[in-house]
Structure 1
Amino acid sequence: MSTNNLNPRGILQERSWCALDEGQKKRLEASAKLENPLAGLSPDELAQRGESFCKQHGLTDEEDIRAFRLGAMIAGNMNKYDTIDGLTDREREVLDKEITHKWSNPSMLYAVITICSLCAAVQGMDETVVNGAQIFYKDQFGIGDASSQRDSWLLGLVNAAPYIGCALIGCWLTEPLNNRFGRRGTVFISCVISAAACFWQAFTNTWWHMFIARFFLGFGIGPKSATTPMLAAECSPPKLRGALVMQWQMWTAFGILVGYVADLAFFEVPDRGIDGLNWRLMMGSALIPAVIVVAFVFFTPESPRWYLTKDRHQDAYKSIVRLRYEKVQAARDLFYMDALLQVEKEAMQIQQNKFKEIFAIRRNRNAAIASEIVMFMQQFCGVNAIAYYSTQIFIDSNFSIKSALAASLGFGAVNFLFAIPAFYTIDTFGRRKLLLTTFPLMSLFLFYTGFSFYIPAGTARVANVALGIYLFGVVYSPGEGPVPFTYSAEAYPLYIRPFGMSLATATTWLFNAVISITWPALVQAWTNAGAFSWYAAWNIVGWFLVLFFLPETKEKTLEELDAVFDVPLHSIMRYGVMQAGYFWGHVILRRNMDPPTVPTSANTIEYTKEQFTKEKHHDPTARV
């Protein structure tokens, strides 16, 4: 066999290639195939493969066979369907709209996203009903002395219990549950656990009993938080994937808002013979959205990609047909998914275990680094110190208890309302640019909030603390709010995605637990000013981490991301330095400069709306 065949991308000189061992050569070959598993096939060969796919998997209907013949030809031609004969006017119209009207999709796709959004609302309520409830149960449980180090640590421990359960056990249940029950089944089971745990919390009478109930809640939060973004990502078309997957964060923000509403709604409920009836109703109310998900999740289709991993191709086709307007679209997407999965199965055999698979293969390692950064920074940007302790923070700045609950509700409203623009920005400006823009602003507003505590007690301090927190919420919500779960759900290749999401969510919940445990003690040791400044400084660190280690993923198919991540890490870092230089020179100093070239492992074609419009009008400058 020739060196060129062994070294398909031509990325190594012959001497360098010969110096590689067989395992390294196999990894390079698999990586090259992952970039485009249909590269080099003629239209006739693609059509034949489409037919063979149908025969192999028992799809005998003539309409389905036609769809796979045409779908395979489109998939192998970079989706440039204008050169494909045999498409109906309706099919061409729908394929046009994928690019020109990306929000035009079947209602069933949006039903899947609705279920995912309700899961997120479960998450948000689980996180914030405790914000108001702890004001009451900490005294009832004997852990309410603000001057006691023991009580500060125990209060933090109880609040952190679900996230400890997530990081240690819950997140690692994701892969076995997904493997056995699928994406929908995992969502169902995790919401049952969440509902049961919320009910349980309402009947606790000691801090350690509350800790156990909340620790058990983590078994529901972990698999749900990892699986729901995967389900949304695997069902969504690439041009809209970011906007649909970010629904997780947007509706988590809505759940946070509803949690604050519940805190305020039950604030004045009298005990009526039950000690702490008000906080018990707060804690129990979070089960409502979980019960709704349990009732409706199986009315939506399963992820077609999950069916493919189980060799259930007919079920996968039935599922994706419900998620696309035309069978040609469904056949195209399923054929390409399957082609990639076959190549990934080859790559999967190169390594022994999935943990080693993540860190031994460059493509996976770069994805893991980027995912871990955004997941870590989602916590250490400081947002959940506010989400979990805002009522106490506002009380410390001289609010009354009821006013503090109302102010927390205001933060929830800001967090939700300013997540809405991310519908547009996440797929227009991209994940990287959003983070590079918002991290400095988050740092600025946390410093502002912290320094506001130096203002003498009174109206001025109250107003400035509230303003700083609200402005932080304004810039967090379209940036570090929606990006981490969206980015992590799309970064990993399919065969290792559940394990990668387990690692990503375990990271975010571990550091969530760290913040929950340490915030009361941090405030006690450093005061509110020092605690806020600590997280303000971490936002500056986060900006540099994103600049140097985070490739852009917007509008790429889940398959095209292999080429984005499979580059040397030093190339990604060098691009960050060059991008910072371009911003300073072109934007600040107004010099005429060309932007740096984004590093990829191959010369890939990005088929944008502008490129599509040029080709539709036969622009001679359009790239072919």
Structure 2
Amino acid sequence: MSTGTHLPRDTSQGAGRDSGRGIAVTAPVEALDIEQVTISSTSHRRHASSSSPPEAEPEAGFLKSEPSPINFNANIEAKYVNTRPTLLPPNVPSKNPPADLHAPSRIKNPLVGIPRQTLLRDVDEFCRAKGLKEHRALFRKGALIAQDPTGYEDITGDEAPTPAEVDALRNEVLHKWRVPRMLLLTIATCSIGAAVQGWDQTGSNGANLQLPRALGIGSDSTADQLRVGLVNAGPYIGTALVGCWLSDPVNYFLGRRGCIFLAANFCLWPVLASAFCRTWQQLVVCRLLMGVGMGAKASTVPIYAAEIAPAPIRGALLVSWQLWTAFGIFIGTCANLVGDRVGRDAWRYQLGAAFIPAVPLAVLIYMCPESPRWYMKKNRYPDAFRSMLLLRKDPVQAARDLYYIHAQLQAEHLFIGSTHYVKRFIELFTIPRVRRATLAASTTMLAQQMCGINIIAFYSSSVFEHAGASSFQALLATWGFGLINFLFAFPSIWTIDTFGRRSLLLFTFPQMSWTLLTAGLCTLISGNRGAHLGVVALFVYLFAAFYSPGCGPVPYAYSSEIFSRGHREMGMAFAVATCLFWAAVLSITLPLMLRSLGVMGVFGFYSGLNVVALIMIFLWVPETKQRTLEEIDYIFAVPTRVFMRYQVTRTLPWWFRRYLMRDKSAILEPLFQLELEDHHAADGAFDNDKARVELKEMVGFTKGIDPRNGEVSSETSDIVH
């Protein structure tokens, strides 16, 4: 695959916003109209080759196989790879044969290929323009490390890292969990925010056993069943209709911390008020207000965690959202058990107790540093650097990350320019790269509701009661569900960055389907009620055990990282609104479904939806493990039809040969590959250095793929997918 051609800066659009840097895309186009992409930042315009005049528009009907560069400055959609074939007149032979149908899509570090002196001059200008002149030497060093993340020990001259800096760079791979205390405090605070979410969801679960009768909506009439559903759905309606959409403007004006603080207050006062409600209408209002806080918090906390976390552990840190949501659910089930002993007002304690974790969240959030990316969005680079210093072990790591983010986001700012709330929402569906992320995020969020977990999380007490349990037995079985859900979330801390987001989903959805179906079938068993309930609970617990490391943590972690900076708040808001809108639909409809279909019918219905969700994920959700937020931008540059065709024509046949036919020689060529500086000649020494080997694998520099051209090496078939 050809590399990008240097282009001169186009001064007709966005002048003055990109420090003179142009962007080029080369897209070999095959006879089957599959677009493969290499995206790169070109060197400074003073080093760009002289541009030739544009070719005349060729006649349609014939494909030109040689890639041609597209100037992003002149074509906003080119950034998001909405490329079209370049055509040749009839009978004009192409210079190159058609590209391989499934050649890897190569993710280009924007600093690769820039001459050292040019890069250092760019850094000097960056420091001068952004008020960081006193840190010029540090940023020069950091930029060279960012340009070649595996070759930091080969840097010479004044910019060579010191032994202490080399140790810090090695340790972020060898000992990736040695992170600053401030980062740990921030993640702990985000975890408390997740616990608020879980406890808020669980309070109504236990209250459902008494609340309908206490508020006069306990009959079997359709109207009362819908009222019970509305009370349970209140937080999710508030989230989907208001809370998520408030997160974008609140984040813009108040920052990540301000939005979380505001959300914490909405999760505190309305929750307390719900314990004093006298009518179901009052309770619905309180729960709608609580939903506003839940939506703003759920849309912001994962983004905040994603933006502050180093790439090697970002996935594991994002898992803390689900892990501590599960912890909140577990604590909520404990509170429900304790509250059940109070008597007829137990439901008030069960609903009101959920205010407790919102208090430390509101207190701690302003003790944490603001997101450096948010400061950069506001052009407050000195503040961004101060935040980054608190979040990284060594200043050179902070300088490296800040400059690398700047290099990636510089182009994005040029392409998108100034925008507003409504335009950002429309662009979720009109800009190809953002539209692909919207599809993937919505798929994972919708799949979380399709799997049926919230049948148990919202209504497990009622479900177990329908299955023949007493009130206390139902609460006890629900407590067991909360414990399993929490304990089995822990493996995802390690697996999400090892096996990947997509792989976890593809593995766990089939398991959830059969366990849920089996749990439903077990409700048909006649005989001893205790044994009957025990078997149903067993398969519900197995269902939760498969959910917790897969569909539990992945949707929020995945959605928070895949949108570009300009659309991150809006994209996450849409994803969370999608998830919780369908949670509201589930909450409203489940009482009626239980009455008409029974537990068996409901479990069977959601078991089938698990299979549908599995197919959707397979076709529409790319892998993003161990990529920086900026590199993910390029993964979603690949058109959806290319990704789908790769899965159907390459992944499925490979899986069939490898696992059904037991053919260990089967090779699956990866679709995505990150381009790095060429270390091919030094592979022997490189492979003996554990830190650099792990970093090499982390960023996609895998054996079997030639780093110079992205082709499969004939020397080995050990391709890492």
Does TM, scored on the shorter chain, surpass 0.5? yes
Q: Is the Cα–Cα contact under 8 Å of residues 250 and 259 in structure 2 kept in the other structure?
A: yes
Matching of residue 123 in structure 1 with residue 197 in structure 2: yes
Matching of residue 209 in structure 1 with residue 282 in structure 2: yes
The alignment partner of 2:584 has SS state of helix
**2:215 counterpart residue number:** 141
Of 303, 308, 322 in structure 2, the residue corresponding to residue 235 of structure 1 is: 308
Of 212, 231, 236 in structure 2, the residue corresponding to residue 158 of structure 1 is: 231
**1:284 counterpart residue number:** 352
CA distance in 2, matches of 1:614, 1:559: 27
CA 279–23 in structure 1, closer or farther in 2 if over 3 Å, else same: same
CA distance in 2, matches of 1:612, 1:230: 38
CA 365–543 in structure 1, closer or farther in 2 if over 3 Å, else same: same
Of 449, 456, 459 in structure 2, the residue corresponding to residue 389 of structure 1 is: 459
Matching of residue 409 in structure 1 with residue 479 in structure 2: yes
**2:400 counterpart residue number:** 332
Q: Is the Cα–Cα contact under 8 Å of residues 548 and 575 in structure 1 kept in the other structure?
A: no
Q: Is the Cα–Cα contact under 8 Å of residues 256 and 412 in structure 1 kept in the other structure?
A: yes
Q: Is the Cα–Cα contact under 8 Å of residues 118 and 293 in structure 1 kept in the other structure?
A: yes
CA 388–3 in structure 1, closer or farther in 2 if over 3 Å, else same: closer
CA distance in 2, matches of 1:480, 1:550: 13
Q: How does 1:365-380 map to 2 (within 5 A)?
A: 365-380=435-450
CA 51–239 in structure 1, closer or farther in 2 if over 3 Å, else same: same
Q: 1:507-548: per-residue Cα shift (whole Å, max 9, x none)?
A: 001001011111110111111100011110010011111111
Comparing 553-562 with 579-588, greater Cα deviation is found at 579-588
Q: 1:450-490: per-residue Cα shift (whole Å, max 9, x none)?
A: 11111115233211110111000000000000000000001
Q: Is the Cα–Cα contact under 8 Å of residues 447 and 536 in structure 1 kept in the other structure?
A: yes
Identity of aligned residues (%): 39
Comparing 567-576 with 31-40, greater Cα deviation is found at 31-40
CA distance in 2, matches of 1:302, 1:265: 38
CA 158–613 in structure 1, closer or farther in 2 if over 3 Å, else same: farther
Q: 1:528-580: per-residue Cα shift (whole Å, max 9, x none)?
A: 10001111001001111111111100001111112211112122112222222
CA distance in 2, matches of 1:22, 1:36: 17
CA 613–519 in structure 1, closer or farther in 2 if over 3 Å, else same: farther
Q: Is the Cα–Cα contact under 8 Å of residues 116 and 232 in structure 1 kept in the other structure?
A: yes
CA distance in 2, matches of 1:563, 1:611: 30
CA distance in 2, matches of 1:471, 1:208: 37
- After TM superposition, give the deviation of residue 3 of structure 1 in Å: 8.3
**2:294 counterpart residue number:** 221
- After TM superposition, give the deviation of residue 361 of structure 1 in Å: 2.4
**2:77 counterpart residue number:** 27
Matching of residue 190 in structure 1 with residue 263 in structure 2: yes
Segments of 5+ residues of structure 1 without an aligned counterpart are 271-275
Q: Is the Cα–Cα contact under 8 Å of residues 35 and 559 in structure 1 kept in the other structure?
A: no
Q: How does 1:106-505 map to 2 (within 5 A)?
A: 106-145=180-219, 147-270=220-343, 276-349=344-417, 353-456=423-526, 458-505=529-576
Matching of residue 8 in structure 1 with residue 80 in structure 2: no
Matching of residue 598 in structure 1 with residue 670 in structure 2: yes
CA 327–611 in structure 1, closer or farther in 2 if over 3 Å, else same: farther
Q: Is the Cα–Cα contact under 8 Å of residues 375 and 484 in structure 1 kept in the other structure?
A: yes
Output the amino acid matched with 1:90.
A
- After TM superposition, give the deviation of residue 623 of structure 1 in Å: 5.0
CA distance in 1, matches of 2:480, 2:128: 58
Matching of residue 91 in structure 1 with residue 159 in structure 2: no
CA distance in 2, matches of 1:82, 1:604: 15
Q: 1:52-107: per-residue Cα shift (whole Å, max 9, x none)?
A: 2222222243xx22211100111122453122232111110110112222112111
- After TM superposition, give the deviation of residue 406 of structure 1 in Å: 1.1
Output the amino acid matched with 1:111.
L
**1:76 counterpart residue number:** 147
**2:88 counterpart residue number:** none
CA distance in 2, matches of 1:612, 1:598: 25
CA 587–22 in structure 1, closer or farther in 2 if over 3 Å, else same: closer
- After TM superposition, give the deviation of residue 597 of structure 1 in Å: 2.5
CA-atom RMSD in angstroms = 2.7
The alignment partner of 1:8 has SS state of strand
**1:583 counterpart residue number:** 655
CA distance in 2, matches of 1:228, 1:611: 43
Output the amino acid matched with 1:59.
L
Q: How many residues align?
A: 613
CA distance in 2, matches of 1:125, 1:547: 32
Task: Report which of the two has the higher share of helix.
Answer: 1
Q: Is the Cα–Cα contact under 8 Å of residues 446 and 472 in structure 1 kept in the other structure?
A: yes
CA distance in 1, matches of 2:78, 2:151: 28
Q: Is the Cα–Cα contact under 8 Å of residues 108 and 675 in structure 2 kept in the other structure?
A: no
The alignment partner of 1:384 has SS state of helix
**2:51 counterpart residue number:** none
CA distance in 2, matches of 1:173, 1:241: 26
Of 600, 603, 608 in structure 2, the residue corresponding to residue 529 of structure 1 is: 600
CA distance in 2, matches of 1:183, 1:311: 16
Q: Is the Cα–Cα contact under 8 Å of residues 448 and 579 in structure 2 kept in the other structure?
A: yes
The alignment partner of 1:9 has SS state of strand
- After TM superposition, give the deviation of residue 602 of structure 1 in Å: 7.4
CA distance in 1, matches of 2:685, 2:550: 29
Q: 1:346-385: per-residue Cα shift (whole Å, max 9, x none)?
A: 1213988213322222221211111100000111110011
**Larger-Rg structure:** 2
CA 611–241 in structure 1, closer or farther in 2 if over 3 Å, else same: farther
CA distance in 1, matches of 2:115, 2:502: 36
Matching of residue 574 in structure 1 with residue 649 in structure 2: no
**1:273 counterpart residue number:** none
The alignment partner of 1:523 has SS state of helix
Q: 1:16-48: per-residue Cα shift (whole Å, max 9, x none)?
A: 789999998343257699954324312222222
- After TM superposition, give the deviation of residue 612 of structure 1 in Å: 9.7
Q: 1:242-289: per-residue Cα shift (whole Å, max 9, x none)?
A: 00011001100000001101111111114xxxxx53221111111111
CA distance in 1, matches of 2:354, 2:686: 48
CA 290–612 in structure 1, closer or farther in 2 if over 3 Å, else same: farther
CA distance in 1, matches of 2:238, 2:470: 33
Output the amino acid matched with 2:577.
A
- After TM superposition, give the deviation of residue 613 of structure 1 in Å: 5.5
CA 219–611 in structure 1, closer or farther in 2 if over 3 Å, else same: farther
TM-score normalised to the size of structure 2? 0.81
CA 586–310 in structure 1, closer or farther in 2 if over 3 Å, else same: same
Q: Is the Cα–Cα contact under 8 Å of residues 341 and 495 in structure 1 kept in the other structure?
A: no
Q: Is the Cα–Cα contact under 8 Å of residues 484 and 545 in structure 2 kept in the other structure?
A: yes
The alignment partner of 2:393 has SS state of coil
Output the amino acid matched with 2:579.
T
CA 26–387 in structure 1, closer or farther in 2 if over 3 Å, else same: closer
The alignment partner of 1:246 has SS state of helix
- After TM superposition, give the deviation of residue 343 of structure 1 in Å: 1.0
- After TM superposition, give the deviation of residue 615 of structure 1 in Å: 6.5
